[in-house]
């Protein structure tokens, strides 16, 4: 079982380290490309990038350093990485994902994803990104049948130690719907962070409305994602 390391504040990122890794897939991207102009897609991707940058640079937690979470994007995929497994780093990582998922909903962008944990190499200079946690996160999100973020067992094990160091108000257990049945997993719930201060507010009243609006863009079996997501959000209270 991984242990939380001693707090670090201003140290540089290690190229290879034990870290949390998130993989978020933007749903319906192919359909969006087919139905929208190139400029419309470009503008929407800019909005997504703005939300990513906002939520990964907020000064989360107690640390004075904001460089605790980094991201890469490719086409319809968003990859999010924690600096390491320090308390502040992990806290910033989950806070950023929680706020980002809320913002994606408000922008009308359906998505699903997963969070895993393990040894991950991030070499920005040479554009090299690889590690088992990235594979684990990708494979688990492929199974999900609702719009949300599910925590992989590797990350869940690490969080057992994390919880000893502090609360995790936006991580909830839920019987998640998957393509081949349902199973209880920890999930990262969408929450509203407010502004650059990182001060938490109640989940936005517009969240439920935004999810209902997604129904207008889907038909047939894809609507099960909307039904399952509405049940998930309602279950959060």
pLDDT at 54: 78
pLDDT at 5: 41
pLDDT at 118: 97
pLDDT at 169: 75
pLDDT at 59: 66
pLDDT at 145: 96
Dist CA 119 CA 200 (whole Å): 30
Domain boundaries, the chain: 16-235
pLDDT at 36: 78
Dist CA 167 CA 164 (whole Å): 8
Q: Which positions of the chain have pLDDT values less than 70?
A: 1-10, 59-66, 164-167, 192-205, 237
pLDDT at 200: 53
Alpha carbons within 13 angstroms on the beta-carbon side of residue 68 total 27
Global pTM reads: 0.85
Q: 134-156 b/e with 16+ CB inside 10 Å = b?
A: bebbbebbebbbbbbbbbbebbb
- CA torsion, points 157, 148, 171, 66, in degrees to nearest 10? 90
pLDDT at 1: 33
Q: Which residue has the tokens 């944990």?
A: 117
Residues in the chain: 237
16-235 is classed CATH 3.30.70.1230: yes
């Amino acid at each position: 079982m991984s242990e939380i390391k001693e707090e670090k504040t201003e140290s540089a990122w290690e190229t290879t380290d034990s870290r949390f890794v998130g993989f978020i897939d933007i749903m319906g991207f192919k359909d969006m490309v087919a139905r929208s102009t190139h400029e419309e897609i470009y503008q929407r991707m800019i909005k997504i990038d703005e939300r990513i940058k906002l939520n990964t640079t907020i000064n989360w937690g107690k640390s004075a350093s904001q460089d605790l979470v980094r991201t890469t994007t490719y086409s319809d995929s968003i990859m999010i990485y924690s600096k390491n497994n320090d308390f502040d780093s992990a806290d910033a990582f989950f806070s950023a994902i929680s706020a980002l998922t809320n913002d994606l909903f408000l922008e009308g962008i359906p998505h699903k994803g997963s969070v895993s944990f393990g040894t991950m190499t991030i070499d920005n200079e040479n554009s090299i990104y690889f590690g088992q946690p990235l594979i684990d996160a990708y494979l688990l999100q492929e199974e999900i049948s609702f719009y949300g973020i599910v925590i992989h067992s590797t990350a869940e094990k690490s969080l057992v130690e994390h919880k000893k160091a502090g609360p995790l108000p936006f991580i909830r257990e839920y019987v998640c719907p998957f393509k081949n049945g349902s199973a209880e997993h920890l999930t990262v719930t969408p929450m509203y962070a407010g502004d650059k201060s990182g001060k938490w507010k109640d989940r936005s009243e517009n969240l439920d409305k935004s999810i209902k609006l997604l129904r207008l863009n889907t038909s047939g079996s894809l609507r099960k994602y909307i039904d399952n997501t509405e049940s998930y959000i309602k279950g959060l209270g």
